[in-house]
Amino acid sequence: MAWVLLSLLLLVLLSHAPSALPATTAAATTGLRVAITRTESPSSFTFKERFHRAVQRSRRRREVLKLAKCSRHDVEGVFKWGDGEYLIELAVGTPMQPITAILDTGSDLIWTQCKPCIRCLPQPSPYYDPSTSSTYSVLPCSSPSCSGVQHLCYQNLCQYGTSYGDNTETRGFLATETLTFGRKRVPGITFGCGIWNNGTLSDSTGIVGLGRGTLSLPSQLHPRRFSYCFTPDNSSSTSHLFLGSKAKLGRRHRRGRVQTTPMLPSPPAVPFNTYYYLPIQGISLGRTLLPIPKTAFQIKKDGNGGMIIDSGTQFTIVDPAAFGVIVKKILSLVHLPVDKSSDELLCFSWTPGLHRLPEMPDMVFHFDGANMVIPRDKYMLSDPDEGFCLAIVSGNGTSILGNYMQQNMNILYDLEANSLSFADAQCDQL
């Protein structure tokens, strides 16, 4: 398999890479601001095709998260199956080499594709070349970081490897390097230098994990908090990620006050403490609290259930029992012909000039001590040529609050207080 091929060809990499250097320690950051861009939809796809692709990506993403619970040594990640992810721009090495990676609160490992590529996926920029960097250092197998990922040892060097739910794989060296965020250079960051990569990784070079695990960017930089604000998918403006002292909720909120809810610990049955669980109590549409069974969002003994917030999943996924109640209420509010061409999505036929989009109340996610208000255009999608569709899908297991509902919302993860705060914002003005 890939491990055998990788081991046979590691001598090629070692002949190009600098000798392992003493690892440096990542300095605590006083505050970072990083640009976030959004991957664009291919123009050849219609709205409905893009919608179906987005649903499939979200469901496959959920399967990746589900599979990640099987082993504490697996590295979880979201891959670019199309549009729908947010990318951050940074640089790696000395001298600096630019990379663009998927921002992912549902994984921990930071990794990028590297030269010399035994097998690499297409990407928009040159592959990172460790042989030209004076700050690149492969970690020995004795490093504590090495035990945090699935790995093998070769000449006492840590080789990481992981597989994903869509058969995407990445393998290479676990190393330390200097990362640059804007003008801020941070040495000694542990990352994966992927030299054998298979599957799909369109328009990005790798992943930056923001999860709770030890190898994530927040865990390595040790900020007390981080925040992001996603611009809408139809906006050309740049979003931003803030870490440390720069992470705070701004004053430009369109409505309402700042809401704060505690984040729940991972269930005991989930050995890898990556995900940010939220204490969801129920969902309303307008003034109506929907009759969703309490069991729909309960965390079960086997680790399934509950709700996590994830920047790498586009559409929100809820338990089938909750989905059925939501659909019933939507059908009572929208008096348009139901499009029966899709049996897995709730879509309505809509023709501008003939039909007006219905006025619909806000959807509210009720968390412990906080209410997340979601206007119509963040839980429904509309296209003048194709239709009017619910941006929520059904899925067994853990529910996921996706990035579509998080748009134009300033969201702050307080890692010290173990809480999530949020407020409506104009993200292009932050």
The per-residue pLDDT for range 105-154, each reduced to its tens digit, is: 988 889 999 999 999 999 989 999 999 999 999 999 999 998 777 788 88
Rounded Cα–Cα distance for residues 261 and 240 (Å): 22
What is the secondary structure of 36-70 as a DSSP string?
EEEPPPPTTS-HHHHHHHHHHHHHHHHHHHHHGGG
CA dihedral defined by 367, 371, 375, 380, rounded to 10 degrees?
10
CATH says 254-429 is which class?
mainly beta
- Given the residues 74, 83, 233, 310, select the one marked as catalytic: 310
pLDDT per position as a tens digit, 324-375: 999 999 999 999 889 877 667 788 988 777 778 889 999 999 999 999 999 9
Q: Which two tokens stand for residue 34?
A: 């990083």
Residues 374, 201: contact at Cβ < 8 Å? Answer: no
- Given the residues 74, 104, 108, 424, select the one marked as catalytic: 104
The reply to whether CATH 3.30.1330.10 applies to domain 2-242 is no
| Residue 310 annotated as catalytic | yes
Rounded Cα–Cα distance for residues 347 and 378 (Å): 15
**The pLDDT of residue 79 is above 50:** no
pLDDT band, residue 303 (cuts 50/70/90) = confident
Rounded Cα–Cα distance for residues 378 and 391 (Å): 8
pLDDT band, residue 97 (cuts 50/70/90) = very high
pLDDT of residue 25: 42
pLDDT of residue 23: 41
Residues 54, 41: contact at Cβ < 8 Å? Answer: no
What is the secondary structure of 97-130 as a DSSP string?
EEEEEEEETT----EEEBSSPSB----SSPPB-G
pLDDT of residue 359: 92
pLDDT per position as a tens digit, 382-421: 876 667 899 999 988 899 999 999 999 999 999 999 999 9
In this structure, of 3-12, 47-56, 180-189, 314-323, the range with the lowest mean pLDDT score is 3-12
Give residue limits of the domains in the chain. 2-242, 254-429
Q: Which residues pair with 413 in a beta bridge?
A: 226, 420
pLDDT band, residue 168 (cuts 50/70/90) = low
pLDDT of residue 49: 57
The radius of gyration of the chain's CA atoms, rounded to the nearest angstrom, is: 22
Rounded Cα–Cα distance for residues 64 and 398 (Å): 12
pLDDT band, residue 167 (cuts 50/70/90) = low
| Residue 104 annotated as catalytic | yes
Closest CA to 346 of 84, 42, 52, 41: 52
